[in-house]
Structure 1
Amino acid sequence: MVLVTGGTGLVGAHLLLHLIESGSTDNKKIRATYRELKSIQKTKSLFESYNKAPLFDAIEWIKADIIDVPSLEEAFQEIEYVYHCAAVISFDPKDEALLRKTNIEGTANVVNLCLVNKIKKLCHVSSTAALGDLTGNELIITEETEWNPEKPHSDYAISKYGAEMEIWRGQQEGLNVIIVNPGVIIGPGFLNQGSGQLFEKIRNGLSFYTNGSTGFVAVSDVVKIMTQLMKSTITNQRYTLISQNIIFRDLLNMISDALNTNRPKHHANPFLLSLAWRADWFLSSIFQSKRKITKATAKASYSINEYSNEKVKTALEYHFQEVEEYIKKITPLF
């Protein structure tokens, strides 16, 4: 039996669809975790948007939280393979404790139960945020780039790096593991998070762009690669999953064109962004509201980061989808 933690998130939901549709589980049953019953509807709606509603009934849902060991123990009954997709994504400093507890402690719980239940293989969804820091003579971030604890990192990045340390601990104790480090994941079905929020902001008239850059990848590529790695004999490796390194302005233009709406016209330079995150901090402190822009997200929006995907392309002979073509393909689903 196959277990998918975080089956109601962007990656988890698409992974469930791909596992069922492609038969990648070799006829093994699929179990997925959820924390709140209403959240299952998001995954069901995703299946419906792809006209795959009948496949949804193939999932065995179980209520479990990765930071609640008793519920997780029940989820692990009769499981052979685990895809660990559950995580908290936030760049709000107020969520530091939640990030560490869920992403690090929760992953430690998953690893421990994998060891206890003699799981055959674990695939962990990490992030490019957990990759290393370039030194003065390096230009491209790879799986071998070393993490420098002396450099500033967001709480989210630290939590994902800590989660990876738990995965490697499991590997040292005899667990077969795979780690994937996706860049910014583009995909439909979740308007309140990630790329879904970006599509909504552009549809509603986003005015500002930045000239930073990072790696982007289609969610369909992420789940295909995960399943291929799990079915392969490859173990104890990590892979950066990005299709292309893209300047944020160019990505915003791609989405604007696909939505047939106006492109953002105003450049948000570092100085303007520094004013924006400080103002947002002040207002959120006064009104106790969720942060819209933080120091970490402001810095990321004008930082230039380039990632290599050569390792996974070589290992699987994989060809990534072009981001612009994928955006055109999924826009009707938003």
Structure 2
Amino acid sequence: MILVTGATGILGRVIVLQLLKQGKSVVAAKRKSSNIGEVKNSYKFYTDSPESFFEKIKWVDVDFDDMFSLQNALKGIEEVYHCAATVSFHPADQRKMYHTNIEGTKNLLFACEGSGVKKFCFVSSIAVLDGVNEKGETDESSDYNLKLDHSAYAVSKHFSEMEVWRAAAEGLNTVIVNPGIIIGSGNWTQSSGLIFENLARPYTFSGGASYVDVRDVARASIELMDKNIFGERFILISENKRYFEVGSYVRQKLGLAAPKIIPSVLLMVGRVLNFLFGWLFSPLRMVDKVNTESVTTFSTVSNNKIVETLGFKFIPVSESINFHLGNYRTDKKSLKK
């Protein structure tokens, strides 16, 4: 039996569905307040039999601060996909992210000790990778540099990874995947689900990012576990794209004009205003050094390792956007009725 944490998230739900399609038994961990009806609704985009697959899921409420709750969820479990995390780039969410992402991962791994868990897949992020290889690309050897400034999210994922490596050193079969920006369907008002709300805005930034379809992240993660490839990390990205290119493509599909690039000088002004008034106006705190640098830089991230290891073929970003943007528009229309 397999446990998937963060099963109501944009990735966790797809991993659950992919495992069910393989005929496997899945326990899906969620918060008590989670909306599983929204997960069921999103399954209509991924399968012709959303209800039949949804009914096969065994849902369990998990409190990552309660060891008994974790141990109870792990009863009969042999494999774990740990997708649960808080994702935010607002400094005000730092303490919450550290607690949820680091302590939550630490507690889950501790609960795995003495249980029947034999395999553990941890979903991290390319945000933890620093530096480039001889080709000028970021790859799996680009280790986290403690001397550099990082977002609280990147810090939380780095120290979560350290907990996973510790567990690996103690004998647990672990693999880490580092996705880029995930393009998926559902959960439209939270976390990664906000991607189309953000891309549809009339303004964008001069930098860029690495994108990947949620179906590819799920498929690669499961394949790595099924093939018993452990003790390594794998970057999961399809393509590196500038924000302007992706934003223009989305807005074109929506019948809108291309976005305007925010001048760097305005971001510098924003940083000054953050320094002076960030304590008073919370939104200004987003305009800090780390965030402004991240949206004005464009680094090339390599997916060579996963491609060579699994012969993996990624869904092109344009195809991914066409599929999920169509789903986004469908849901938005149904909500207006």
The AA in structure 1 aligned to 2:12 is: G
The aligned length equals 326
Pair 202,177 (structure 1): closer, same or farther in 2 beyond 3 Å: closer
Tell me the SS of whatever aligns to 1:286: coil
Q: Which residue of 2 aligns with 1:187?
A: 184
- Which residue pairs with 2:211 in the alignment? 216
Q: Which moved more, 1:10-19 or 1:314-323?
A: 10-19
> Of 93, 105, 114, which residue of structure 1 is paired with 2:112?
114
Aligned to 1:256: 251
After superposition, the CA RMSD in angstroms is 2.1
Q: Is the 8 A contact 1:11 1:223 kept in 2?
A: yes
Paired position in structure 1 for 2:168:
171
CA distance in 1, matches of 2:33, 2:194: 23
Question: What do residues 155-194 of structure 1 show as CA deviations (whole Å, max 9, x unaligned)?
Answer: 1101100000000000000000010000111111121234
In 2, the alpha carbon distance for the partners of 1:38 and 1:223 equals 21
Report the equivalent of 1:18: 18
What's the secondary structure of 1:312's corresponding residue?
Answer: helix
Within 1, Cα distance between the matches of 2:233 and 2:36? 29
Corresponding letter in the other structure for 1:57: E
CA-CA distance at 1:138 after TM superposition: 6.4
- Asked if residue 141 in structure 1 is aligned to residue 135 in structure 2, the reply is no
Q: Unaligned 5+ residue runs, structure 2?
A: 329-337
Give the share of equivalent positions with the same residue, in percent.
34
2: CA distance, partners of 1:279 / 1:191 = 31
Q: CA deviation at 1:76?
A: 0.6
Name the CA distance, whole Å, in 1 between partners of 2:34 and 2:187: 14
**2:89–2:286 CA contact under 8 A, matched in 1:** no
Tell me the SS of whatever aligns to 2:308: helix
What 5-or-longer segments of structure 1 have no aligned partner?
Answer: none
Q: Taking structure 1 as reference, are residues 195 and 158 closer, same or farther at Cα in structure 2, changes over 3 Å only?
A: closer
Question: Alignment partner of 1:215: what SS?
Answer: strand
SS at match of 2:120: strand
Is residue 2:221 matched to residue 1:226?
yes
**Correspondence for 2:3:** 3
Please list the CA deviations of residues 301-330 of structure 1 after superposition, one character each: whole Å capped at 9, or x if unmatched.
111221110000011000111101111122
1:268 paired with 2:246, answer no
Which residue of 296, 320, 328 corresponds with 2:322?
328
Give the superposition deviation at 1:73: 1.3
Equivalent residues of 1:269, 1:302 under 8 A apart:
no
TM-score between both structures, scaled by the size of structure 1: 0.90
Tell me which amino acid in the other structure corresponds to 1:192: T
Choose which of 82, 85, 95 in structure 1 pairs with 2:83.
85
Q: 1:197 aligns with which of 188, 191, 194?
A: 194
1:294 and 1:43, CA in 2 relative to 1: closer, same or farther beyond 3 A? farther
CA distance in 1, matches of 2:325, 2:210: 20
